[in-house]
Structure 1
Amino acid sequence: MIHHLRGKLIEKHPTHVVLECSGIGYFVNISLNTYSAIPDQESLALYTHLQIREDAHTLYGFYTSAEREIFRLLLSVSGVGASTARTMLSSMSPQQVRDAIATEDVLAIQAVKGIGAKTAQRVILDLKDKIFKIYDLGEVSHKSDNTNKEEALSALEVLGFTRKQSEKAVDAVLKQDPTLSVEGIIKNTLKNL
């Protein structure tokens, strides 16, 4: 198991980063919350979760250990895979996920793409007791960044949306607020898809 990576930030995208550690470049999948928290500097440390399947070894990175713990708890729920857990952490902050589970807010969880009513109820049922063991879930800072619509669209494609479907939703979001960061565009678009 790879606990964490510390190294040089080579690439930074809304859905992944490339981190060079001792000459090896690691492709690490991230959520939007982690993307917004990563500072624009050369040195970076991420907590990681390695998912090993028969056909792939996939590395997920998190800026805080609390976000990684929420991700792992979500994976323990039947019907919630890594892609759905990452989408949930891209749509909601770890604090919002924790609060939604603690207050049994089925609608907030169900608003995430890929989660229906039964899965939302299962998440709450399975995790309500466990979620109170999570501490130190600080607010994730929002940074304003002048990125373009294309970066948001490519991130949405990686999350499983078609380009045509995403473009309409992104255009609608940008009409309401053209000053949004790429993270803001994606979050607001996810609520509308």
Structure 2
Amino acid sequence: MYEYISGKIVESSPAHVVLENNGLGYFINISLNTYTAIKEVQETTLVIHENIREDAYTLYGFFDRQERELFQLLISVSGIGANTARMMLSSLPPEELRVAILTENTNQLKGIKGIGLKTAQRVIVDLKDKLGKEQADEKLFAGADNTIRDEALSALVMLGFARAASQKAIDKILSAQPDARVEQVIKQALKMM
């Protein structure tokens, strides 16, 4: 299983990227969200989801782990395949998609190509509890803060702390001190937990 692939971007489009790593070119399917994040760079690292079927071996790449986790949750829903999940992540940013599911916004989900009323309802029923541990009205941080938030969250989870509790602590710290460095956020979160 691949966790991530780093390399030089040889070819890219809104639907795929070819990453060269040690002389091998990896064809990786991506969402529009990931394309937007990497379109200005020449080298990148993508976290990977491997989709292995009897007739195909396909790689899906994501700019961050949160998008991959949401993708994996989406494909766990009956009737949602990898390409439909990618379409959903291309139509809405991951945080908006989470909020749409948590707030049971079927109209927003139905607005995505390939998603009808029944599929939208099934996504909500299957994923609302899984995503419900996070707050639907969670503050959306700016890009720089997202990196700090993600790194701090990853470190706390690796140390064995619960994801939901870690997110609450980090959000509280960053709302009070938006310019805090990752190390400061982790230290303060450890004191709070």
Q: TM-score, normalised by structure 2?
A: 0.68
Which 5+ residue runs of structure 1 have no aligned equivalent? Answer: 142-193
* SS at 2:59 equivalent: strand
Distance across 1 between alignment mates of 2:51 and 2:96: 24
Partners of 2:141 and 2:52 in 1: CA distance = 29
Runs of 4+ that moved beyond 3 A: 132-141
Percent identity, aligned pairs only, is: 55
Secondary structure of the residue that 1:18 maps to in structure 2? strand
CA contact (8 A) 1:93 1:140 kept: no
State the SS of the aligned residue for 2:27.
strand
Report deviation, 1:93. 0.5
If asked which structure has higher relative contact order (CA below 8 Å, sep 6+), I would say 1
Deviation at 1:122, TM superposition (A): 0.5
Question: In the superposition, relative to structure 1, how do residues 134 and 20 fare at CA in structure 2: closer, same or farther (>3 Å)?
Answer: farther
SS in 2 for 1:45: strand
Q: What residue number does 1:41 align with?
A: 41
Structure 1 residue 41, shift from structure 2 partner? 2.5
Report what 2:71 is aligned to.
71
Conserved 8 A contact 1:2-1:49: yes
Identify if the C-alpha distance between structure 1 residues 66 and 119 changes in structure 2 by more than 3 Å, giving closer, same or farther.
same
- Secondary structure at the residue paired with 1:50? strand
| Per-residue Cα deviation, 1:76-132 (whole angstroms, up to 9, x for no partner) | 000000111011111100011100001000111111111111110000000001113
CA distance in 1: counterparts of 2:40 and 2:133, whole angstroms: 32
Q: CA deviation at 1:42?
A: 2.3
Give the corresponding residue for 1:100.
Answer: 100
Q: TM-score, normalised by structure 1?
A: 0.68
- Tell me, in whole angstroms, the C-alpha distance in 2 between the residues paired with 1:58 and 1:85: 14
> What does residue 6 of structure 2 align with?
6
Using a 3 Å threshold, how does the CA distance of structure 1 residues 88 and 40 change in structure 2: closer, same or farther?
A: same
Residue 27 of structure 1 pairs with residue 27 of structure 2: yes
User: Is the contact made by 1:66 and 1:134 (CA closer than 8 Å) also made in structure 2?
Assistant: no
Q: Distance in 2 between matches of 1:69 and 1:99?
A: 15
Q: Which runs of 5+ in 2 are unaligned?
A: 145-193
Structure 2: how far apart are the matches of 1:61 and 1:134?
24
- Aligned Cα RMSD in Å? 2.1
Distance 1:99 1:53 in 2: 31
Cα distance in 2, alignment partners of residues 54 and 100 from structure 1: 33
SS of 2:80 mapped into structure 1:
coil
* Amino acid of the structure 2 residue aligned with 1:104: E
User: 2:69 and 2:59 mapped to 1: Cα distance?
Assistant: 15
**Structure (1 or 2) with the larger CA radius of gyration:** 2
> Aligned letter for 1:115?
I
Paired with 1:130 and 1:2, the residues of 2 have a C-alpha distance of: 24
**SS of the residue 1:41 aligns to:** coil
